[in-house]
Chain A
Amino acid sequence: MSKNIRRLHPLTKILWLLGGLVLLLVFNDPIYLSAVFAAAVIFAVIPCRIGRQLIKAVPLLVVFFIASLIIWPPFIKSGVTWFSLGPYVVTIHGTAYAAAMGLRIAGTVVVALCFASTTSPEEFAAGLRSMKAPSAISFTLSLAFRLLPVVAETTARVVESQKARGVAFSGGLVRRMKLYLPLIVPVVLLNLRGSDQMAIGLELRGFAPSKRPVPHDPPRSSVLDVMAVFVLILLIASALAARLAGYGAIIPDRI
């Protein structure tokens, strides 16, 4: 199943990424969004087989969810008030909407993880090109993905070099931020130095922003892609129809 997902045309995967985000945006009722979130998690664990990555992301998802529960309630005035602390008023609707927003953000992370783990930067670029995006933009975006591990490695080395000088990267959030902030200088500088050489290297290999490459192994679409897009359209249409019929919205005038 995982192989089949990986074999999908990059454009299909990009459409599924966007479709996933649309599904998360259609509803603002936490019960409906729970169903969408649960579907995203099941999709990540079974066909995409990224259960391990998902477990690693759980603390981040929890942080997003809790932050959402704290930030959103004062913006929703409707519903019965639970409690208030000066201008910080929390209503039942506010809490439900905050939970929905938390699920939406967490769901976005899950959908993005599914996409990133099944699509290489080159496939991503190919997908964007098939959407007629400018070649320079698709290449730059794919290069940014490719360079993420390089930047992470540079950062790890800079942190190690400070550890060697007796800096213990532990303690509270404020202390850690204080320790990490000065490291931005060497990390940025090291990556900038490399980027200069990269630009020269790319140019000498024929790259130009206006050029469109001739792919040596162009992605091919199959029946599976047609089925996947059909299922996606069906899901989005059903969700939109449900919302238009008045389902899935705890606050109807908000997204």
Chain B
Amino acid sequence: MPAAFSISNLAFTYKGATEPAVKSVNLELGKGRYLSVMGRSGVGKTTVLYALSAVIPERKKGSLEGNRLLFGEPLDGLLPSDIAGKVALVFQDFEASLFSTEANDEVALGPEYLGFSPAETRARVSESLRTCGLDGFGERKVNQLSGGEKQRLAVAAALAVDAKLLLFDEATSDLDPKGKSDVASLAVDLVKNGRTVVSVETEAEATLTADELLLLTGGRVLTKGKPAEILTDARICSKAGVQPLPFLRVCDEHAGDWRLRRDIKGDKNVFEALTTEACRVSHSPVIQTDGLTYSYPGGADALAGVRLTVNAGEIVAVLGQNGSGKTTLAKCVAGIITPTSGDLRLFGRDTTEIPQLELARYVGYLFQNPDHQIFSESVFDEVAFGPRNIGIKGDELKARTRAALETVGMAERRTDDPFALTKGDRQRTALASVLAVEPKIIILDEPTTGLDFEEVRSVMELLRDLNRKGITIIIVTHSMPLVAEYVPRSVIMRDGAIVMDGSTRDVMAWSAKSYELGIEPPLVTKITAETGYPCLTNYEFEETFGGSIE
């Protein structure tokens, strides 16, 4: 099979950096293949995509060594504009990929600049929109599309220039489970139609539809092979810092559908012992909402009569598809926006009677993107901003700030410029700035987006520790493996209302059988739900089914 691209001995050091981002990478992929790429943050995943799209070394300056061939032609000396139409790069940030106000114009932009005739451009626009499931969306305004729709539009725009190589850089990390699954199916369809796809992923399960999985570590290739084979090797996964999926060893695959082998049996007693959760939650409500509604200016109803009670010391996940009202509910509770109608009480007090400053002492809110809140020149000042703002001064201010920094493991970096930190460390700094106010409730909106598996676990372990100290935690997220492992209670929202509120196990087990809730449970839950022992984690699986696995 002819190669779509081949890279040999690639090494690249960004201008100003002391260490190379990638070292001696050798990689080849046949035409019409689908490659997933995983690894820790900073191992060079994006740099490999930049190498394939001629972004380095001209548009992102640095020193490059090695050879690159794209469809048999050398890439050296070429600019991204020289390979326009052959390669498309889709970013995690949709807004950075979209330039027009109307979907038709967005998709037409590439063909127009590549000089296609108007008739051909119109044909390409309509075909690309149809391929991406956006038939009938042509005249829709781009800023009125959901996140998933915008992402598909970005892919449609890439297809319209007839790109033969599609590069996705964590392109689905902001999408809900359905959006992720749609984009994954789209990638498979594109490959069937002869395109080559390279996709950087953060969740191991997302790589199972790919032909090959590439693991990078320390700027080098650790391994490349069939995803299911690599992900069942715990040693290799640990080296690359990705989540292993050991249960795949005892599963059969039929057209992308994984099922547990019939000879694998679970142990009822072990399962029941594992899943009998000790109830340590109090029954003193800290958040109570009744008939809560919120309408955005312009009339769209984001919340439609939400009734919810959260007790002190709980960890609750708020789940649902993009646009279901999760973030709006969280913002109402944190006092960032004011509900249109309904009752909202914190610790029994009506929130309309609580001033903003006092509210901040009750509820801390961590935004998805830490860069939205960082503006100080040092990590210490950034973390001290919150408590200083509520009137804490002198030694107490210093003590609180130090304690918060120690909790998140950033005490050593207190004098650093927060803008120069990695995303994981910026997220920790933002979390420390919330903790320094010592709120009783912490709400986190997609706290793990853009973090690698180990960083996610680290943040979640930290939250679990805080919860053990009595802080109530609410997490708005699309990451089902995270919810399954760390969050005992899940609330599902749809069209601005709560459609299910129960134990995470019940929610996941139900979702494994029916897509009614719009939730895609972790694969381990999907494959075990049929047996009657719905496991949420690898550990539960190994304990429950380990007896029947030789």
On A, residues with C-beta under 8 Å from B are 120-122, 143, 146, 149-150, 154, 157-158, 160-168, 182-183, 185-186, 189-190, 193-195, 197-208, 211, 213-218
Extra contacts besides A165-B389, A205-B161 (11): CB < 8 Å:
A146-B99, A160-B372, A164-B336, A164-B360, A197-B97, A207-B84, A208-B81, A213-B109, A213-B112, A216-B112, A217-B108
Distance A215 CA – B116 CA, assembled complex (angstroms)? 9
Q: For the complex, is B303 an interface residue (Cβ under 8 Å from A)?
A: no
State whether B360 touches A120 (Cβ < 8 A). Answer: no
Q: Which of B233-241, B362-370, B450-458, B534-542 contacts A (4 or more CB under 8 A)?
A: B362-370
Select from chain B the residue with minimum beta-carbon distance to A149.
B143
Q: Would you give 20 A-B contacts (Cβ < 8 Å), ordered by A?
A: A162-B373, A164-B336, A165-B360, A165-B386, A165-B434, A166-B361, A168-B355, A197-B91, A198-B96, A203-B80, A204-B83, A205-B88, A205-B110, A206-B81, A206-B113, A216-B112, A216-B122, A216-B125, A217-B104, A217-B108
In-complex Cβ contact of B116 among A164, A197, A204, A214 (8 A): A214
State whether B85 touches A206 (Cβ < 8 A). Answer: yes
Select from chain B the residue with minimum beta-carbon distance to A170.
B356
Q: Which residues of B contact A150 (CB under 8 A)?
A: 95, 143
State whether B355 touches A146 (Cβ < 8 A). Answer: no
State whether B84 touches A205 (Cβ < 8 A). Answer: yes
Cβ-closest 8 pairs across A and B: A166-B360, A197-B96, A161-B373, A164-B365, A216-B121, A205-B110, A213-B112, A206-B113
Q: For the complex, is B427 an interface residue (Cβ under 8 Å from A)?
A: no
Distance A213 CA – B122 CA, assembled complex (angstroms)? 14
Q: Taking A158-B373, A165-B386, A194-B95 as contacts, is the C-beta distance between A120 and B102 under 8 angstroms?
A: yes
Q: For the complex, is B7 an interface residue (Cβ under 8 Å from A)?
A: no
State whether A206 touches B161 (Cβ < 8 A). Answer: yes
Q: How large is the interface on B (under 10, 10 to 19, 20 to 34, 35 or more residues)?
A: 35 or more
State whether A200 touches B53 (Cβ < 8 A). Answer: yes
Distance A6 CA – B355 CA, assembled complex (angstroms)? 46
State whether B79 touches A203 (Cβ < 8 A). Answer: yes
State whether A166 touches B118 (Cβ < 8 A). Answer: no
State whether B113 touches A200 (Cβ < 8 A). Answer: no
Distance A181 CA – B81 CA, assembled complex (angstroms)? 38
Q: Taking A120-B102, A203-B59 as contacts, is the C-beta distance between A160 and B336 under 8 angstroms?
A: yes
State whether B113 touches A207 (Cβ < 8 A). Answer: yes
In-complex Cβ contact of A206 among B59, B114, B390 (8 A): B114
A-facing mask of B472-502, CB < 8 A → 1, else 0?
0000000000000000000000000000000
In-complex Cβ contact of B91 among A149, A201, A207 (8 A): A201
Give A150 Cβ to nearest chain B Cβ, in Å: 5
A-facing mask of B341-383, CB < 8 A → 1, else 0?
0000000000000011101110111010101111100000000
Give B62 Cβ to nearest chain A Cβ, in Å: 14
Q: For the complex, is B271 an interface residue (Cβ under 8 Å from A)?
A: no
On B, residues with C-beta under 8 Å from A are 53, 55, 59, 79-81, 83-85, 87-89, 91, 93, 95-97, 99-102, 104-105, 108-118, 121-122, 125, 143, 157-158, 161, 331, 334-337, 355-357, 359-361, 363-365, 367, 369, 371-375, 385-386, 389-390, 419, 433-434, 437
Give A151 Cβ to nearest chain B Cβ, in Å: 10
Select from chain A the residue with minimum beta-carbon distance to B124.
A216
Q: Which residues of B contact A205 (CB under 8 A)?
A: 84, 88, 109-110, 113-114, 157-158, 161
Distance A201 CA – B239 CA, assembled complex (angstroms)? 33
Distance A161 CA – B430 CA, assembled complex (angstroms)? 10
Q: Taking A206-B110, A214-B121 as contacts, is the C-beta distance between A146 and B84 under 8 angstroms?
A: no
Q: Which residues of B contact A211 (CB under 8 A)?
A: 113
In-complex Cβ contact of B371 among A146, A189, A203, A217 (8 A): A189
Q: Taking A189-B419, A205-B161 as contacts, is the C-beta distance between A199 and B59 under 8 angstroms?
A: yes
State whether A218 touches B118 (Cβ < 8 A). Answer: yes
Distance A165 CA – B113 CA, assembled complex (angstroms)? 46
State whether B105 touches A122 (Cβ < 8 A). Answer: yes
Q: Which residues of A contact B97 (CB under 8 A)?
A: 197-198, 201
Q: Which residues of A contact B93 (CB under 8 A)?
A: 194, 197
In-complex Cβ contact of A166 among B105, B369, B372, B390 (8 A): B390
Q: Which residues of A contact B359 (CB under 8 A)?
A: 166
Tell me which of A121, A122, A166, A207 has the highest count of chain B C-beta atoms within 10 A of its own C-beta. A166
Q: Which residues of B contact A206 (CB under 8 A)?
A: 81, 84-85, 110-111, 113-114, 161
Select from chain A the residue with minimum beta-carbon distance to B125.
A216
State whether A204 touches B80 (Cβ < 8 A). Answer: yes
